């Protein structure tokens, strides 16, 4: 019986220790991955701040010109790159961190701003191609500038969210 019980006990003990150490290592790796992800998101958001500011400045300038009787349409050509978030988010094991949830909401808002901006660019191109005598042109121009005003507000909200999230992220 000793020939069986002693090796079996050591095998069970070794398996238990191996399992516990494996779980500890897994948790440490998940924590490290989460911190690296959050650090990278901070870098990406700092870069996006510049792009968002440029877009907002362009929109605000066009709105000021429109209020002064000048209706130059804007064709936005930049892009809000979110490569780090897009490629790394799915690799996280634990999404319960409040900072990660805030980042998800923030990137959703950035996507909405980019989509709205792209629609405005398309609409601007369509308006430019209209005949100057087209009766719907002026109405479309007015709606375009209302949309531009909305884009400016969306970007302001996103910028505020970025400013609140960045201090919470590791550097």
- Using the predicted structure, report yes or no on whether residue 60 has a pLDDT greater than 70: yes
Q: How far apart are CA 69 and CA 77, in angstroms?
A: 25
pLDDT in the model for residue 120: 94
Residue 160: both structure tokens together: 């505020």
pLDDT in the model for residue 117: 94
In tens, the pLDDT along 78-137 reads 888 888 888 888 888 778 889 999 999 999 999 999 999 999 999 999 988 888 777 888
How confident is residue 2, by pLDDT bands cut at 50, 70 and 90?
low
> Residue written as tokens 């000793």?
2
Decide if 55 contacts 151 (C-beta within 8 A). yes
- Using the predicted structure, report yes or no on whether residue 4 has a pLDDT greater than 80: no
pLDDT in the model for residue 1: 67
Closest CA to 125 of 133, 117, 115: 117
- Using the predicted structure, report yes or no on whether residue 59 has a pLDDT greater than 90: yes
How confident is residue 166, by pLDDT bands cut at 50, 70 and 90?
very high
pTM for the model stands at: 0.80
When comparing pLDDT for 95 and 161, which is higher?
A: 161
**What average pLDDT does the structure give for the chain?**
88
pLDDT in the model for residue 5: 78
When comparing pLDDT for 82 and 167, which is higher?
A: 167
């Amino acid at each position: 019986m000793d020939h069986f019980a002693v090796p079996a006990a050591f095998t069970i003990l070794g398996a238990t220790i191996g399992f516990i150490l494996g779980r500890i290592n897994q948790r440490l790796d998940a924590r490290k991955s989460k911190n690296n992800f959050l650090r990278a998101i901070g870098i990406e958001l700092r870069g996006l701040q510049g792009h968002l500011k440029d877009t907002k400045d362009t929109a605000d300038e066009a709105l000021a010109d429109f209020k002064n009787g000048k209706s130059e349409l804007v064709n936005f050509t930049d892009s809000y790159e979110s490569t780090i978030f897009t490629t790394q988010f799915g690799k996280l094991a634990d999404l319960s961190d409040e900072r990660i949830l805030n980042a998800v909401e923030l990137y959703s808002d950035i996507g909405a701003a980019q989509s709205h901006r792209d629609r405005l660019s398309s609409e601007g191109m369509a308006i430019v191609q209209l005949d100057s005598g087209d009766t719907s042109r002026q109405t479309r121009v007015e709606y375009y500038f209302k949309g531009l005003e909305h884009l400016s507000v969306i970007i302001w909200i996103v910028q505020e969210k970025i400013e609140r999230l960045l201090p919470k992220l590791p550097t």
